[in-house]
């Protein structure tokens, strides 16, 4: 490597191929206008070894000759980090237009953009930035923007031909998230209108033929090879208990394998927290003869600061001369694609993930633990062997891998409630959903359910056209029910409070429960409880935080996560700006008034009237109209069993649970949503009989 500042040839590619030579021989970064730092040259050497680098000239040539390219390259070959910067080079005449690279996951968008900012030797948030929901790390100088697929879709609402971009790179296309699938159809149309726009669709594990056909016979670029090998091991016999097997494998790796960190894939928060605890205990129990470990969880509802800890260094040796410690990460499939966590050498893959499923008949979307696909298994293995050779332990047999796993995971659009998607498509001006060019069209019944939901919420009229209310709802980066509740809140005079509840619902759980202090944490949480439910409990937390001047030490003393609260205030401010734009008034009811809390609860119902359960005489709850037996989730603060209970989520585990619950009154149902609680359209059940009495009472009172 040459020392910075020395005279050198400038045709080594990357930003340096565009670099200008300043007087005195110093190479200048064309993007920032500053001389390159030593770090730039150091990383450049690593980049030059990547398989994608080998083909950079071919890629640039292909971009010049084609509008769309499908690119398939092994995990870790350099797609996500190199292709977007190559695109900058391929399109020198892009003017002020940017390059967008989408990621299905927020943590990937953030961490990859950080890496690329280092590679291009610029500050993150300046020339290279990221944009995820409620967090925009870009600025006026940004030319390369990593973003979640959902954010690009949102931008398309205001900028339907994506004028701000010279190229769009849809990364991890095999994941087939809802947003990526919609972007496929949209961008396909934009490409016709904008011959100058370039599109790259890429992944390590996509069915290239299918994508090429869909994108009008786009050419395929294959990048063979990876930087470091990954050795795969299978279990000889099926494992009965994958959690126990995973922990056992981790302990064995720690005891027997050379230095290197471990990444384990599990299915959800509870399981991951359990595994973290058990693994720490087990390894601590082995005494100080074995090296120390840092055990970390990773799941999407974990506050961002704790998610970022996965990039921390592993602990050092217990004493000089001893082997170094290890980092052990237990993660959901949010770490399955895209991520490079430096130091990960071992991957443990039990072969399961929680997958979204939607049953349009009973309108329930839930997460079910299911076997993963071959593509997922491949991606998981690909998290090892990125910065050195790796090993992947699959806790299933090779026979099961070959014979039982599906090739690809089903596209999310076939497994989801499409309420938000349909609202967004309507806002994008797509009237005819049936003829939209979906790569895989959703089931007609699912589309019908989405139209029905939006019609009940008042977002679509009876002919399926977007109403003014619907158009406003679509502007909020929120579920349609929550957007409706927010838009209705000024009418009930409680928009300030509903805004706070909404912000809290859209930030990670604020309640901390450290292992060593569980009782004190539960007591602290108890002080925020509101008898009428979980929403008002969240509001209590928010108010208490504000009354204590947003103090971090107050948070600490009360077992509240300060980062979550900071995030809640930021989310609240962003939503407030959208409300202001529409001229929606921010009001608070008189705190002394007896209607203070009931108006807030009524307003929840204005959005969630289709998510209500009724307590039957037998003592269990039935969801209204769909008649599913459900129980209050153990996390609820509701101590009494209210006759009517509103809920935000339907959780399917060993039993059906409803989560995030509030007590509401039967009278409010017929007051706020008579169109939905129209008894002509109601199955026979106890709820119907109760409602009949309420209607009767109301008509008597009226006459």
Ligand X SMILES: Nc1ncnc2c1ncn2[C@@H]1O[C@H](COP(=O)(O)OP(=O)(O)OP(=O)(O)O)[C@@H](O)[C@H]1O
In the list 29, 55, 77, 80, the residue contacting Mg ion (rule: CB under 5 A) is 80
Closest Cα partner for 585 from 504, 461, 519, 486? 486
Helix segments in 463-582, DSSP class H: 468-475, 480-488, 495-505, 518-526, 534-547, 552-557, 562-581
Select from 78-86, 97-105, 349-357, 536-544 the region that touches ligand X (CB under 6 A): 78-86
The residue (of 47 and 94) whose beta carbon lies closer to ligand X is: 47
Spatial separation of the C-alpha atoms in residues 606 and 612, rounded to whole Å: 12
Bridge partners, 650 (sequence order):
658
Buried b / exposed e along 434-469 (16+ C-beta atoms within 10 A): eebebbeebeeebbebbbebbbebbbbeeeeebbeb
Residue 77 touches which member of Mg ion, ligand X, none, C-beta under 5-8 Å by kind:
ligand X
Select from 177-185, 191-199, 333-341, 425-433 the region that touches Mg ion (CB under 5 A): 333-341
Residue 29 touches which member of Mg ion, ligand X, none, C-beta under 5-8 Å by kind:
none
In the list 16, 29, 68, 81, the residue contacting ligand X (rule: CB under 6 A) is 81
Residue 81 touches which member of ligand X, Mg ion, none, C-beta under 5-8 Å by kind:
ligand X
The residue (of 340 and 558) whose beta carbon lies closer to ligand X is: 340
Do 81 and 133 touch, CB atoms closer than 8 A? no
Bridge partners, 369 (sequence order):
354
In the list 102, 138, 249, 338, the residue contacting Mg ion (rule: CB under 5 A) is 338
Closest distance between Mg ion and the C-beta of residue 338, in Å?
4
In the list 55, 338, 424, 495, the residue contacting ligand X (rule: CB under 6 A) is 338
The residue (of 341 and 421) whose beta carbon lies closer to Mg ion is: 341
In the list 78, 343, 442, 493, the residue contacting ligand X (rule: CB under 6 A) is 78
Q: Which residue is nearest to Mg ion (CB)?
A: 80
Residue 343 touches which member of ligand X, Mg ion, none, C-beta under 5-8 Å by kind:
none
Spatial separation of the C-alpha atoms in residues 474 and 457, rounded to whole Å: 12
In this structure, the number of other CB atoms found within 10 A of the CB of residue 94 comes to 17
Spatial separation of the C-alpha atoms in residues 423 and 458, rounded to whole Å: 11
Q: SS3 breakdown of the chain: % helix, strand, coil, rounded to 5?
A: 40, 20, 40
Residue 296 burial by CB count (10 A; 0-12/13-18/19+): exposed, middle or buried?
Answer: buried
The residue (of 79 and 601) whose beta carbon lies closer to Mg ion is: 79
In the list 14, 73, 297, 390, the residue contacting ligand X (rule: CB under 6 A) is 73
Site string (384-403) toward ligand X, x via CB under 6 A:
--xx----------------
Closest distance between ligand X and the C-beta of residue 326, in Å?
18
Select from 349-357, 382-390, 515-523, 557-565 the region that touches ligand X (CB under 6 A): 382-390
The residue (of 331 and 340) whose beta carbon lies closer to ligand X is: 340
The residue (of 341 and 482) whose beta carbon lies closer to ligand X is: 341
Bridge partners, 393 (sequence order):
233, 348
Select from 15-23, 71-79, 193-201, 498-506 the region that touches Mg ion (CB under 5 A): 71-79
Residue 135 tokens, joined: 């967090």
In the list 29, 55, 79, 499, the residue contacting ligand X (rule: CB under 6 A) is 79
Give the 3-state secondary structure of residue 183. helix
Do 354 and 193 touch, CB atoms closer than 8 A? no
The residue (of 43 and 483) whose beta carbon lies closer to ligand X is: 43
Spatial separation of the C-alpha atoms in residues 244 and 254, rounded to whole Å: 15
DSSP 284-306: HTT-TTSPPEEEEEE-TTS-HHH
The residue (of 338 and 564) whose beta carbon lies closer to Mg ion is: 338
Spatial separation of the C-alpha atoms in residues 397 and 410, rounded to whole Å: 22
Is 227 among the residues that bind ligand X (CB under 6 A)? yes
Closest distance between Mg ion and the C-beta of residue 79, in Å?
5
Segments of 542-692 assigned E as strands: 612-615, 621-623, 629-632, 644-652, 656-664
Is 567 among the residues that bind Mg ion (CB under 5 A)? no
In the list 58, 312, 342, 440, the residue contacting ligand X (rule: CB under 6 A) is 342
Give the 3-state secondary structure of residue 140. coil
Select from 77-85, 155-163, 404-412, 619-627 the region that touches Mg ion (CB under 5 A): 77-85
Residue 303 touches which member of ligand X, Mg ion, none, C-beta under 5-8 Å by kind:
none
Closest distance between ligand X and the C-beta of residue 344, in Å?
10
Nearest-Å Rg of the Cα atoms of the chain is: 27
DSSP 425-444: HHHTT---STTS--SSPPPH
Is 77 among the residues that bind Mg ion (CB under 5 A)? no
Q: Give whole-number Cα distances, 103 to 21, 111, 379, 467, in Å.
A: 35, 11, 14, 31
Closest distance between ligand X and the C-beta of residue 77, in Å?
4
The residue (of 104 and 508) whose beta carbon lies closer to Mg ion is: 104
Return all residues near 545 (Cβ < 8 A) that are at least 6 apart. Answer: 554, 555, 560, 565, 568
Which parts of 34-63 interact with ligand X (CB under 6 A)?
A: 50
Closest distance between ligand X and the C-beta of residue 622, in Å?
45
Spatial separation of the C-alpha atoms in residues 127 and 362, rounded to whole Å: 48
Which parts of 92-121 interact with ligand X (CB under 6 A)?
A: 115
Residues that bind Mg ion (CB under 5 A): 79-80, 338
Q: Give me the residues that bind ligand X (CB under 6 A), please.
A: 50, 73, 75-82, 115, 204, 227, 337-338, 340, 342, 382, 386-387
């Amino acid at each position: 490597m040459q020392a910075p500042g020395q005279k050198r040839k400038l045709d080594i590619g990357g930003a340096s191929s565009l670099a200008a030579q300043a007087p005195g021989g110093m190479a200048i970064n064309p993007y920032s206008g500053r001389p390159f730092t030593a770090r730039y040259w150091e990383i450049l050497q690593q980049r030059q070894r990547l398989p994608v680098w080998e083909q950079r000239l071919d890629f640039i040539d292909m971009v010049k000759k084609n509008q769309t390219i499908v690119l398939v390259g092994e995990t870790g070959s350099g797609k996500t980090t190199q292709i977007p910067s190559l695109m900058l080079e391929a399109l020198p005449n892009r003017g002020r237009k940017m390059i967008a690279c989408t990621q299905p996951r927020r943590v990937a968008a953030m961490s990859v953009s950080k890496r690329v900012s280092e590679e291009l030797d610029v500050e993150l948030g300046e020339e290279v930035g990221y944009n995820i929901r409620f967090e925009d790390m870009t600025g006026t100088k940004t030319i390369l923007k990593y973003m979640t697929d959902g954010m690009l879709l949102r931008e398309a609402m205001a900028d339907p031909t994506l004028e701000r971009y010279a190229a769009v790179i849809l990364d991890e296309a095999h994941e087939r998230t809802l947003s990526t699938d919609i972007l496929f159809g949209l961008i396909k149309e934009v490409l016709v209108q904008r011959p100058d726009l370039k599109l790259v669709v890429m992944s390590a594990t996509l069915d290239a033929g299918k994508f090429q056909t869909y994108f009008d016979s786009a050419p395929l670029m294959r990048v063979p090879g990876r930087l470091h090998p990954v050795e795969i091991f299978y279990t000889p016999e099926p494992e009965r208990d994958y959690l126990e097997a995973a922990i056992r494998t981790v302990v064995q790796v720690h005891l027997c394998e050379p230095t290197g960190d471990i990444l384990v894939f599990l299915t959800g928060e509870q399981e991951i927290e359990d595994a973290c605890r058990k693994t720490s205990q087990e390894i601590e129990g082995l005494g100080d003869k074995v090296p120390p470990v840092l055990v970390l969880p990773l799941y999407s509802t974990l506050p961002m600061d704790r998610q970022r800890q996965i990039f921390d260094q592993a602990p050092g040796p217990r004493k000089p001369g001893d082997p170094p410690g290890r980092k052990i990460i237990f993660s959901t499939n949010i770490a399955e694609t895209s991520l490079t966590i430096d130091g990960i050498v071992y991957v443990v893959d039990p072969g399961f993930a929680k997958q979204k499923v939607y049953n349009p008949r009973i309108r329930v979307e839930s997460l079910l633990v299911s076997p993963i696909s071959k593509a997922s298994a491949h991606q998981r293995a690909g998290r090892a062997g990125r910065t050195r050779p790796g090993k992947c332990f699959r806790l299933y047999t090779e026979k099961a891998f070959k014979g039982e796993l599906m090739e690809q995971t089903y596209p999310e659009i076939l497994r989801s409630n499409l309420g938000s998607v349909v609202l967004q498509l309507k806002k994008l001006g797509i009237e005819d959903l049936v003829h939209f060019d979906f790569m895989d069209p959703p089931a007609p019944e699912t589309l019908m359910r989405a139209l029905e939901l939006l019609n009940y919420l008042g977002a679509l009229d009876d002919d399926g056209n977007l109403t003014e209310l619907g158009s406003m709802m679509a502007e909020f980066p929120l579920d349609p029910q929550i957007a409706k509740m927010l838009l209705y809140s000024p009418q009930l005079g409680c928009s300030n409070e509903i805004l706070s509840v909404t912000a809290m619902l859209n930030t990670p759980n604020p309640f901390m429960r450290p292992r060593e202090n569980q009782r004190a944490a539960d007591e602290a949480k108890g002080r925020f409880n509101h008898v009428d439910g979980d929403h008002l409990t969240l509001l209590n937390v928010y108010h208490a935080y504000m009354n204590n001047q947003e103090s971090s030490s107050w948070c600490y003393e009360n077992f509240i996560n300060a980062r979550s609260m900071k995030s809640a205030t930021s989310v609240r401010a962003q939503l407030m700006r959208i409300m202001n734009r529409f001229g929606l008034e921010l009001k608070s009811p008189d705190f002394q008034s007896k209607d203070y809390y009931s108006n807030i609860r009524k307003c929840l119902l204005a959005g969630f009237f289709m998510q209500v359960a009724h307590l039957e005489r037998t003592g269990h709850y039935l969801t209204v109209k769909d008649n599913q037996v459900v129980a209050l989730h153990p996390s609820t603060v509701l101590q009494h069993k209210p006759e009517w209970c509103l809920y935000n989520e339907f959780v399917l585990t060993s039993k059906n649970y409803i989560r995030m619950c509030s007590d509401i009154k039967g009278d409010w149902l017929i007051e706020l949503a008579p169109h939905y609680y129209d008894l002509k359209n109601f199955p026979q059940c106890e709820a119907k009989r109760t409602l009949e009495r309420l209607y009767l009472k109301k008509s008597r009172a009226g006459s």
